[in-house]
Amino acid sequence: MRAGRALLGIDQRELARLAGLSLPTIQRMETSQGVVRAVVDSLEKVVQAFSRAGVELVGEGAPSQGQGRGVRLMERRQTQPVGAGADAAGGRSS
């Protein structure tokens, strides 16, 4: 949710207004760790508000319906620190 708000440049209060929810509801949803805790109706309102504003929420393992580039958090795995052993041009390890 924070990432969606950042894309729109809005704060929690504005998201609450767009979704027709209270500010404390948005705050509770955003402080949930992992899976967002909320009633289904509230989640649907947030998803619809983002959709109306042009932000697509992509669920885990779901393909994006939009076009262009996007960002998705990858599963954590043991890797080298970012930039270690890769050349900037080709992304190959040295």
Looking at residue 38, which CATH number applies to its domain? 1.10.260.40
Domain residue limits at 7? 2-53
The DSSP secondary-structure symbol of 32 reads -
How far is the C-alpha of 81 from the C-alpha of 2, rounded, in Å?
A: 25
**Is residue 72 included in any domain, yes or no?**
no
67 or 11, higher pLDDT: 11
**Is residue 21 included in any domain, yes or no?**
yes
22-26, 63-67, 74-78: least confident range: 74-78
Q: What is the pLDDT of residues 29-59, one digit of tens each?
A: 988 876 777 788 998 999 899 989 888 887 7
CA atoms within 13 A on the CB side of 93: 5
Q: Average pLDDT of 70-81? A: 56
Q: What is the pLDDT of residues 4-29, one digit of tens each?
A: 899 889 999 999 999 999 999 999 99
Judge residue 19's burial from the number of C-beta atoms within 10 Å of its C-beta, 0-12 exposed, 13-18 middle, 19 or more buried: buried
Domain count, the chain: 1
Assigned token pair, 56: 């697509």
CA 43, distance to chain mean position in Å, is: 13
**Which pLDDT score is estimated for 93?**
42
**Is residue 87 included in any domain, yes or no?**
no
**Which pLDDT score is estimated for 94?**
41
Is the pLDDT assigned to residue 86 strictly greater than 60? no
Number of H helices, E strands in the chain: 4, 0
